[in-house]
């Protein structure tokens, strides 16, 4: 993550905190991140520094009206556009959310498995992680049919991969050596 993203996210976090708008800004940024992660056209728009600032402002105002962004979010997006930092927007959002989770003592845990985990398994895993990390756990679960079996747990940059696919790859590698 670039130092630019860290600085912009920190500045937005401090402003939102001072104005008691952290939750509103976080919701706005979540909606914006959803657009960034699902729209190839919007990413092309963000990466294109040749688009006039006025056009960028019009797009952000339209988004703001449609998604009901708070004024702080819109002002921040205008600032990012004026400073020609739109290509850093996704990283800024990620860093802002990291800061928010750290302040609220929450941690995101990404779980990937071939089959959906049962309610008891999720409760057990959440309980174990909560006791180890001493933080509130927010589980994000997804399916990976290629895993064959097992589970991948990712907390920040830390990854535990106990899938059968990975074990087979390790075995295959060992047999080649």
| Measured torsion, CA atoms of residues 107, 80, 72, 140, in degrees rounded to the nearest 10 | -20
pLDDT for 43: 86
pLDDT for 157: 81
Full-model pTM: 0.67
- Mean pLDDT in consecutive groups of 10 residues from the start of the chain, 177 residues: 90 95 94 90 87 91 92 95 92 92 86 90 92 89 87 89 90 89
Nearest 5°: the CA angle 125, 31, 114 is 35
d(CA 88, CA 92): 6
């Amino acid at each position: 993550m670039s130092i630019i993203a860290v600085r912009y996210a920190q500045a937005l976090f401090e402003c939102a905190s001072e104005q008691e708008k952290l939750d509103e800004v976080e919701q706005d940024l979540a909606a914006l991140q959803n657009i960034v992660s699902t729209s190839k056209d919007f990413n092309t728009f963000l990466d294109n520094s040749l688009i006039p600032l006025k056009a960028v402002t019009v797009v952000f105002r339209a988004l703001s009206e449609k998604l009901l962004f708070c004024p702080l979010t819109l002002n921040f997006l205008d600032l990012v556009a004026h400073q020609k930092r739109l290509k850093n927007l996704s990283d800024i959002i990620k860093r802002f959310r990291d800061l928010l989770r750290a302040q609220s003592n929450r941690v995101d845990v990404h779980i990937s498995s071939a089959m959906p985990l049962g309610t008891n398994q999720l409760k057990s895993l959440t309980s174990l992680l909560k006791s180890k990390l001493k933080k509130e756990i927010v589980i994000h679960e997804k399916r990976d049919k290629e895993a064959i079996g097992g589970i991948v747990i990712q907390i920040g940059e830390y990854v535990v991969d106990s899938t059968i696919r990975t074990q087979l790859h390790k075995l295959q590698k060992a047999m080649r050596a």
